[in-house]
């Protein structure tokens, strides 16, 4: 129905099977990535979905929780050699859900990526758990932007955006956003915006 792209290196057959079984009702594209000798393993999971579908409608919260537990287990097994984990949500349009593939080349409207490369298990796990909260916050922000685009808000939009910025909420335009987890402040920091 939807696509999930998995790039990995240094994972066991059992770990890959566990992830693939979790996503058995989706179209999964699995590839091996280049080795990075700084880490014992690398795992990148990209969710490609229609922009009209909320992320936790795309993948159930139960499947998300299982994925988090699998990743924690992989990280724990790697010890100090570490796991570099990246997850991305790619939102596209022109999706044809009837056959599970795109009739035309999909247009990427937005891509949000989260990168965890901490060797400390505690920092890694905290960042991993906070991805869910960040996604929920982005959903709220996206709803705000959609209502703005649909003309449901008045000229107070710029005032609301300024107020949100004053409260520490970042307002983004559509594009690619990459976040890296800051273990000292325990929050996601925007790395780049294109």
The predicted structure's pLDDT at residue 154: 44
Tally of structural domains, the chain: 1
Q: State how far the Cα of 178 lies from the Cα of 189, in Å rounded to an integer.
A: 8
CATH number at residue 53: 3.30.429
| In-domain check, residue 67 | yes
Contact 87, 44 (CB under 8 A): yes
| In-domain check, residue 163 | no
Place of tokens 């273990």: 183
| In-domain check, residue 123 | yes
Provide the domain limits for residue 123.
3-134+173-193
Q: State how far the Cα of 98 lies from the Cα of 93, in Å rounded to an integer.
A: 14
> Within a 13 Å sphere around the CA of 4, how many CA atoms are in the beta-carbon half?
22
> Within a 13 Å sphere around the CA of 101, how many CA atoms are in the beta-carbon half?
4
| In-domain check, residue 165 | no
| In-domain check, residue 143 | no
| In-domain check, residue 164 | no
| In-domain check, residue 153 | no
The predicted structure's pLDDT at residue 153: 45
Q: What is the CA radius of gyration of the chain?
A: 18
| In-domain check, residue 144 | no
Q: Which residues of the chain have pLDDT under 50?
A: 1, 152-157, 164, 169-174, 193-194
Stretch (H or E) spanning 109? strand 107-116
Q: Quote the mean pLDDT of the chain.
A: 79
- Give the tens place of pLDDT for each residue, 38-88: 999 999 999 999 888 888 888 998 999 999 999 999 999 998 888 999 999
Q: Would the pTM count as exceeding 0.75?
A: no
């Amino acid at each position: 129905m939807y696509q999930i792209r998995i790039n990995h290196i240094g994972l066991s057959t059992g770990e890959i099977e566990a992830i693939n079984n979790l996503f058995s009702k989706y179209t999964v594209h699995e590839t091996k990535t280049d080795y990075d000798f700084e880490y014992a393993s690398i795992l990148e999971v990209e969710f490609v979905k229609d922009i009209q579908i909320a992320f936790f409608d795309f993948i159930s919260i139960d499947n998300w929780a299982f994925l988090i537990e699998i990743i924690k287990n992989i990280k724990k097994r790697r010890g100090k050699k570490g796991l570099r984990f990246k997850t991305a949500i790619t939102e596209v349009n022109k999706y044809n859900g009837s056959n599970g593939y795109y009739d035309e080349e999909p247009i990427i409207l937005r891509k949000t990526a989260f990168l965890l490369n901490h060797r400390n298990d505690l920092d890694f796990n905290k960042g991993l758990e906070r991805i869910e909260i960040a996604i929920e916050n982005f959903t709220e922000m996206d709803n705000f932007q959609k209502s703005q685009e649909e003309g449901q808000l008045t000229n107070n939009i710029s005032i609301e955006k300024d107020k949100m910025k004053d409260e520490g909420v970042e307002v983004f335009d559509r594009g690619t956003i990459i976040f890296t987890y800051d273990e000292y402040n325990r929050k996601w920091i925007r790395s780049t915006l294109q």
